Amino acid sequence: MEIKRRISRQVTVGNITLGGGFPVAIQSMTNTDTSDVSATLAQIDNLYKLGCQLIRVAVPDKDALPGLKEICAHSPLPVVADIHYDHVLALAALEAGVSKLRINPGTMATEKAAAQVAVAAAQARIPIRIGVNSGSIHRRYRHMDRVEALVSSALHYCAQVEDSGCGDIIVSLKSSSVLETYAANRAFAARTDYPLHLGVTEAGTLHSSTIKSAMGIGSLLLEGIGDTIRVSVTGPPEAEIPVAQDILQALNLRQGIEIISCPTCGRAQVDVAAVAEELQTRLAGMDISLSVAVMGCPVNGPGEAAHADLGIAFGKERGVLFRKGKVAATMDNAQLPDALFQAVEQQVRDAGREP
Ligand code: SF4
């Protein structure tokens, strides 16, 4: 089964295309001091290796600008400058070579200042993400209920930016409420073709954010809405990427290995959780879409996971490697994880790729 994606306007950010049916891109934000270039580039490099595709950095003041220029020059990922209040910083960020500006027109001093940024971005052919959240609702819409106010504010700011000649717009409507995020993005998506950046803001610690993001981002993606996502976690941004990948993978929006592991019961012959964790780490980054099962016993194992492409089921001392529910080999339990790993590698090679 495939999700029917909303066809949104195509916008290019560095080497990534958002919208137009292109794959949903994963993004994150550094939490280093932007003026500390080596720390920021080291974090960007880590995020890149984990699978991040776009990176946002904070530009809180003019002291961050020299570092921003160097970061743009050396980053393996397109850099998005995150700017609040000061339109002069946004103009300087364009000069520094960013691939996208993230502004919140509602926090800029005047509409004229926001328009000036839009004109400069259009001239530089740099897209703008208009970020709207409950703190940046335009005063004209403050009497409305929150969802309608978010949507109306976003439409208002988009019209301003577009009237200034910049049509390369990406929009985010964020709330810390999953329900508001869902309703606002849904309503906005029905009324425009702008590509959407999805995220639940201030989603909390890793556990809380995983749940809220899977619900908020996942429910929209299920309806075909969303072109790029950010899972916000209070903590290291590196923790965000696996969650984002898993959300996309669960919806078949990203290639990757899906590990299916049984919940275990009194029949389990080994520590299934430990084996599944180990395989998840070893198989991360394999360039293929496969479902791989780790089952605790042979009684129900291969049968329960008959839909998996490959799997292992542990026995008392010996267990089985199976393919689509059929036993392919029998061996000692200790050999099964390696045998499964090698079988996946072989599938990758058979697909003409490097494992
Ligand atoms: S595969 Fe075996 S151990 Fe795992 S839940 Fe099913 S019956 Fe229990």
Q: What is the mean pLDDT of residues 64-91?
A: 95
Q: What is the mean pLDDT of residues 194-204?
A: 92
Best of 269, 272, 275, 295 for a ligand 1 pocket test (most atoms within 8 Å of beta carbon): 295
Residue 345: domain span: 257-350
Q: Does residue 5 fall inside a structural domain?
A: no
pLDDT digits (tens, 9 = 90+) for 8-23: 999 999 999 999 999 9
- C-alpha–C-alpha distance, residues 334 and 148, integer Å: 58
Q: What are 173's two structure tokens?
A: 């409507």
The whole-angstrom distance between residue 5's C-alpha and the CA centroid of its chain comes to 16
Output the domain CATH number for residue 263.
3.30.413.10
Averaged confidence pLDDT in the chain: 93
Comparing CA positions, the residue from 3, 7, 11 lying closest to residue 21 is 7
Output the domain CATH number for residue 84.
3.20.20.20
Residue 270, phi then psi, degrees to nearest 5: -140, 180
Q: What is the mean pLDDT of residues 267-291?
A: 88
Question: What type of residue is 126?
Answer: I
Q: Does residue 1 fall inside a structural domain?
A: no
Q: Does residue 2 fall inside a structural domain?
A: no
Best of 259, 260, 267 for a ligand 1 pocket test (most atoms within 8 Å of beta carbon): 267
Last residue of a domain, one of 205, 220, 250: 250
Q: What is the mean pLDDT of residues 231-259?
A: 91
Nearest Cα residue to atom 6 of ligand 1: 300
Q: Are 217 and 231 in contact (CB under 8 A)?
A: yes
Which residue in the block uniquely carries the two structure tokens 């403050």? 142
Q: What is the mean pLDDT of residues 29-54?
A: 95
Could you tell me the pLDDT band of residue 204, with boundaries at 50, 70 and 90? confident
**pLDDT exceeds cutoff 90 at 351:** no
Residue 99, phi then psi, degrees to nearest 5: -95, -15
**Could you tell me if the CB of 159 is within 6 A of ligand 1?**
no
Count: domains in the chain: 2
- C-alpha–C-alpha distance, residues 208 and 213, integer Å: 8
- pLDDT value for 278: 93
Last residue of a domain, one of 226, 250, 274: 250
Q: Is the same domain home to 157 and 133?
A: yes
* pTM for this prediction: 0.85
Q: Is the same domain home to 278 and 330?
A: yes
Q: Is the same domain home to 95 and 148?
A: yes
Last residue of a domain, one of 250, 280, 302: 250
Q: Does residue 143 fall inside a structural domain?
A: yes
Q: Is the same domain home to 262 and 326?
A: yes
Q: Does residue 6 fall inside a structural domain?
A: no
